[in-house]
A and B are shown apart, each in its own frame.
Chain A
Amino acid sequence: MTYVIAGSCIQDDSCIEVCPVDCIHPKPGAPDFETAEQLYIDPEVCIDCDACVEACPVDAIFPDFELPSKYDYALDLNARFFAEQGSTAERTAA
C-alpha cells in the first residue's frame, strides 16, 4: 500500500519535514515546486508509516485503501507525478 495526497493539499510542508524516507515531492527549492498545485507521495518509496497523516493540518493524506471516493483519482495522480516529473531517486540524487 501507499499513502496518497488528495486535492485539498495546501502545500504546507509539514509532511515533508516528518517523512523519514523523503518520498514527498516537490520539495521547496525544487524547480517544479513553485508551479506545483499540491504535494505528491511516491508510491514506490512510501513505507506507510503514517507520520505525514499526523502532520497534515488539513487532513489531505489518506492510506490508499481509505481514499474517499471524491478523491479516487488521486492514487493514479500521485504515481503519475513521479513517472512524468522524475522519481524520488532522481530527485534526491540531484
Chain B
Amino acid sequence: MTEARPRVAIIGAGPAGAFAAASVLRARGDAEIDFFERLPTPWGLLRGGVAPDHQEIKRLETTFDKQTLQRGCRLFGNVEVGVDVSHAELMQHYTAVIYATGAQTDKSLGIPGEDLPGSWAATEFVAWYNGHPDYRGLEFDLSGRRAVVIGNGNVAADVTRVLTLGERELERTDIADHALDALRESRIEEVVVLGRRGPAQAAFTSAELRELGRLEGVDIRVDPNEIELDPVSLAWLDEEGTFTARTNVALLREFAARPERPEAGRRITLRFLRSPVEIRGNGRVEAIDVRRNELVRTDDGALRARPVDEAVETIECGLVLRSVGYQAVPLPDVPFDERHFVLPNRSGRVLSVDGELLPGVYAVGWIKRGPTGILGTNKRDAEQTVSCLVEDLAAGVLPEPPRPEPIDALLAERKPDLVTVDGWRAIDGTELEHGRRRARPRVKLASREELLAAASTSAGEPVAADGHR
C-alpha cells in the first residue's frame, strides 16, 4: 500500500484529461493532481475544437472547472512535455503519469495537388477560427465562389456551417476576431460536401445534419438520384442500420424534396458516393476532380466504396478542406503504436513496444483508443483508465517516485512564464470582460503573447512555493 498521497501528472488538459482528473479525485480524494498543458489555456478541444456556434456544449467547462481546478488540481500551462520537461523527469516526481494528449494532426488524402495553396486540413481551419494561438497566422483565401469540404463527419459539418453562417450569427459566438474579420469578407456562395460512401453511411450525427438544413439564408441541395439507396445499403440499413443512420436517411430525403431557393445568399450541396482523385490549379487550388463510387460488401461484411470506371467530374473551387479524420503523433520517450496511432495500452495501462506493462504510465482519450466517440465517451474511458490506476495504487505495484518533492523548482527554472490556475483565471476574466463589452459570450485572446500577458496580470507567484494549495 502506498503510504504517501499519490501524485498524478496528467499530460493534456483537454476533456479526456479533465474527466480523468475528476475520476481520480472521486476514487482517491487524497491525490495531488497536476495538469501539464502545451497551451496557456485548459480544456483542449472544448475551447479549440467545438464549433463557436455550439456555445451550449462549451458549458461543460464549468463542470470541468468545478470538478478539477476548484478541487485543488494545479495547472502548468504553456509547458510542453517532451520539450520543456521530459517523461523521465516526470517519472522522478510523480507516482503516475496519465497521457491525455489527444490526436493533433489530420489524415491526408494521398492524392495529387493536396499540398497546393488553398488546400487545407479542416482541423487547421477549425484551430484558426477557434483562436488556437499556433494557427493565428494562417491565411485562408475566401475570395472564390465555391469551397469543397471532403468528408462526412461532424468536423466537416462544423466547417461547412462556419463557412455559410451569416455575419450576424457569427458575431453572437466566441469565434476568433481574425476569423470573424476574414469571414465577413468571404465571397463563398456554395459549399460542396463530398461523401465517399452513401447517405446511409454518412458519419454526421442527425443533429449536425439537421442543422445544415436549418441555417438562415442558406439553401441546402441534395440530388434525389444520389441518395437513392442501392440494394446493399437498403439491406444494411434494415438489418444493421443505427437509429442515427435511419434518421439521417429520412432527413436527406426531406432535403432532396425541398424546392430550390435561388433567393438564398448561400448554398450547401451535399454529394454522396464521390471521392476526390486530384486537386488541380496553377499555383493554387482552382478545381477538384471527383470520381463516382459504388458500394460493395467485402468478405468481412463491411461496406466499401469502390471507384466506378467512368470519366471524372471537375468541380471548380477556390478552397478545399479535407476532413477525413484526426491522427495522433508519437510522443517523445513513450512507446507508440505506429499502426493504430495510439499509445500501446491495455485498458489504459501503457505497454512497452514488447508488450510489457510500464508501471505508473497510463493513457486516456484519443491517444488511448484513437479519435472516436463524442465528449461523453471520454468520461467512461477515463473511468476505465483510472480504475486501473487505483487498483495499481492499492496493490502497491507503483514504485515511490525517487524524488519526494514536487516538480515546482524545476518548472520555475525552465518555464518562468508557465500559466497557473490563477493565470488562467486572469485570461478567462479578460476574455469574458471583452465579450461583455461587445455582447458576445467571449472574445478570445488569440496569440500566445496576449494570452501570457493576460495571465501575468494575476496576483501571486507563478508557482506556489509549497506546492499544493
Contact = CB atoms under 8 A, between A and B. Distances in A.
A12 B375 contact: yes
B59 A37 contact: no
B310 to A, nearest CB: 34
Nearest to B246: A84
Interface of A: 7-13, 28, 32, 34-38, 57-60, 70, 73, 77, 81, 84-85
B298 interface: no
B205 A38 contact: yes
Nearest to B58: A58
B373 to A, nearest CB: 8
A11 B377 contact: yes
B374 interface: yes
29 contacts: A7-B206, A7-B208, A7-B210, A8-B57, A8-B207, A10-B57, A10-B60, A10-B375, A11-B375, A11-B376, A12-B375, A12-B376, A13-B376, A13-B379, A13-B380, A35-B242, A37-B205, A37-B207, A38-B207, A57-B59, A57-B62, A58-B60, A70-B214, A73-B210, A77-B206, A81-B243, A84-B243, A84-B246, A85-B243
Contacts of A34: 373
Interface string B34-75: 000000000000000000001011011011000000000000
B63 A57 contact: yes
A6 to B, nearest CB: 8
A35 B379 contact: no
Nearest to B210: A73
Contacts of A35: 242-244
B447 interface: no
Interface in B288-336: none
Contacts of B210: 7, 73
B419 to A, nearest CB: 24
B199 to A, nearest CB: 16
A58 B56 contact: yes
Nearest to B56: A8
Contact of A37 (B57, B62, B206, B214): B206
Which of B211, B243, B244: most chain A Cβ within 10 A? B243
B377 A57 contact: no
Contacts of B244: 35-37
B247 interface: yes
A32 B242 CA distance: 8
A48 B207 CA distance: 24
Contacts of B54: 8
Given A11-B375, A13-B379, A13-B380, A32 B57 contact: no
A93 B211 CA distance: 35
Contacts of B62: 57
B376 A32 contact: no
B327 to A, nearest CB: 21
Given A37-B207, A58-B60, A10 B376 contact: yes
Q: Return the 3 tightest CB-CB contacts between A and B, nearest first.
A: A7-B207, A11-B376, A10-B375
Nearest to A8: B56
Which of A7, A28, A32, A70: most chain B Cβ within 10 A? A7
A11 B208 CA distance: 15
B158 to A, nearest CB: 13
B47 to A, nearest CB: 14
Nearest to B211: A7
Given A57-B60, A58-B57, A10 B374 contact: yes
A32 B56 CA distance: 25
Contacts of B207: 7-8, 37-38
A8 to B, nearest CB: 5
B56 A59 contact: yes
Nearest to A60: B56
B205 A59 contact: no
Contacts of B375: 10-12
A36 B57 CA distance: 17
A9 B205 CA distance: 11
B59 A7 contact: no
Contacts of B373: 34
Contacts of B59: 57-59
A54 to B, nearest CB: 12
B63 A37 contact: no
Contacts of B63: 57
Nearest to B241: A35
